[in-house]
Amino acid sequence: MPRHPARYAVTYGLAGCYMPNRCRTVNNESPAAILRQVKDAIRQPYAWPGGYPKYIIMADGESLSVESAREQWRDICQATISPGWHGSGWRAAAVDINWENPMLYCAHSGERIESAYAEDAAL
């Protein structure tokens, strides 16, 4: 670790994190906050109000459906919390809404993730 961990963190885009191994996302949310978002998405797969479909963005850039996240919850928790699981592919980065992408597919199940406004284009 360098002499000035704060400077190291700011230099590499990890502002506010003195342990680079523990910072998981670009927006610098804690692993517990990310898991809370994933758990909320599993419990409520549609955003309220509006009923917009949610999906999980993994740290490697892949998309994961809420159903697959429910099935793989333990692996997602382990990979998001433990620094040794970096290369597992199950590390969650964020939860988002699929607004208009009719070609968004789950990386685990291969099923199409429902979109909010582009359902006619998907058919």
Domain spans of the chain?
25-122
Residue 82 confidence (pLDDT): 82
Residues ≥6 apart with Cβ < 8 Å to 94: 25, 27, 29, 34, 37, 56, 57
Q: What is the mean pLDDT of residues 83-102?
A: 84
How far, CA to CA in Å, does 30 sit from each of 24, 62, 79, 120? Answer: 7, 20, 13, 37
**Nearest residue to 59 (alpha-carbon basis) of 33, 32, 84, 34:** 34
How far, in Å, CA of 123 to CA of 116, rounded? Answer: 14
Q: What is the mean pLDDT of residues 76-85?
A: 82
The whole-model pTM stands at: 0.73
Kindly report, residue by residue over 23-70, the tens digit of the pLDDT.
Answer: 445 567 889 999 999 999 999 999 988 899 999 999 889 999 999 999
32: tokens are: 């517990």
